[in-house]
Amino acid sequence: MPQIITEQNLRNLIDLLVKEAKLVVGPKLSGSVVLYEPLTAGSDLTLDALPRRSSKELFFPICEDILSYKRENGAMKVNDVDRSKFPEAVLIGAPPCDAGSPAILDAVMSWDYKDEFYLERRRKSTIVGIACTKGDDACFCRAVGLAPDAEAGSDLFLTPLKDGSYACNAVTEKGQALVAAHQNLFSEGAGAEPKPFVDQAVAKLDLVKIKKWLEEHFEDPLWEKIADICVGCGACAFICPACHCFDINDEGSTDDGVRRKHWDACGFAKFTNHASGHNPRDVQNKRYRNRIMHKFKYYDDKFGKTLCTGCGRCIRACPVGIDIAEILETINTKQD
């Protein structure tokens, strides 16, 4: 029997979680844009627009300190950040294209090197996903194998119903625990009919075929044709739910400073710049090629997953109108 939660109770749930001193993060109007930000009350929750940035930053902050250092009496004193103090968090109101990203990223973050910063935050968070009834011509989650009602990554999954309430499915134990702890806010019942989903402009892609083409076309005129206009900013990567590259920088002086980890993007010219001055990805189309290769080939090679959720953010934000869905469609229709 599915659980039902009314919109009001959903907001009440947030209020309660905040009172429990949990970090509750959800879509919130921040200035003129909707962003995932800490909610201070249920009333902050804004579900009518896809946030500009993805929810990955809950696990993979834009910028975080790793350690600090100071030279004292000739010896360098290093202090690691105590990760055990990371807060318990609940991500609430993330559509499948955001909620699904940890399910993809967990693989790389716990591979040969375990990124304890990411993993500790992951362990301490519960994801409340929500089926997506919005969408525009940039959306293409179905094309990459996801769907507006995909539950991957969510601990608890909400489906908006026509009467404004939500059908809830506790996907994982964390989700069950969240419901169990606040059982009074949920009711049992069939509920109303679900809200319909929006049609998407991009047809389902044959990701196997695309990967095969990529394998065989590291060198191809297509790259120059589609990617020479890329101006090399990091907008696509930074707002992407799946991009996870970061840089580490020491800030301060050689004697006193902080080591910080922050987002990086393969579109930047300096991304692969070697200390020698040599840059293997010396022109922009090579950098853009890497973006596509990483998402649809390399990541699949290593982890059997596609590094894209089809949220369409990069399409909407690209300063020069590069459309990843269009590129995938082009590759999809190639014969050789």
Give the binding site for other proteins (CB under 8 A): 21, 23, 30-33, 35, 37-38, 52-53, 57-58, 60-65, 68, 71, 73-74, 79, 81-82, 85-87, 137-138, 201, 228-235, 237-239, 247, 249, 251-253, 255, 260, 262-263, 265, 268, 270, 277, 284, 315, 317, 319-323, 325-326, 329
Q: Shortest Cβ distance from residue 168 to other proteins (Å)?
A: 26
**For residues 228 and 301, which CB has a smaller minimum distance to other proteins in the complex?**
228
Q: Shortest Cβ distance from residue 212 to other proteins (Å)?
A: 23
**For residues 11 and 121, which CB has a smaller minimum distance to other proteins in the complex?**
121
Beta-carbon count within 10 A of 155 CB: 24
Q: Shortest Cβ distance from residue 148 to other proteins (Å)?
A: 19
What string of DSSP letters covers 231-274? ---SHHHHH-SS---EEEEEEE-SSEEEEEEEE--TTSTTTT--
**For residues 128 and 179, which CB has a smaller minimum distance to other proteins in the complex?**
128
251 Cβ contact list (under 8 Å, min separation 6): 257, 258, 259, 260
* C-alpha atoms less than 13 angstroms from C-alpha of 295 in its C-beta half-sphere: 24
The conformation of residue 183, written as its DSSP 8-state character, comes to: G
**What is the rounded CA–CA span in Å between residue 205 and residue 224?**
22
**For residues 81 and 192, which CB has a smaller minimum distance to other proteins in the complex?**
81
Q: Shortest Cβ distance from residue 142 to other proteins (Å)?
A: 16
To which residue do tokens 């506790």 refer? 170
Tokens read off for 140: 């293409």
Q: Shortest Cβ distance from residue 36 to other proteins (Å)?
A: 8
To which residue do tokens 């921040």 refer? 30
**For residues 124 and 305, which CB has a smaller minimum distance to other proteins in the complex?**
124
**What is the rounded CA–CA span in Å between residue 331 and residue 221?**
12
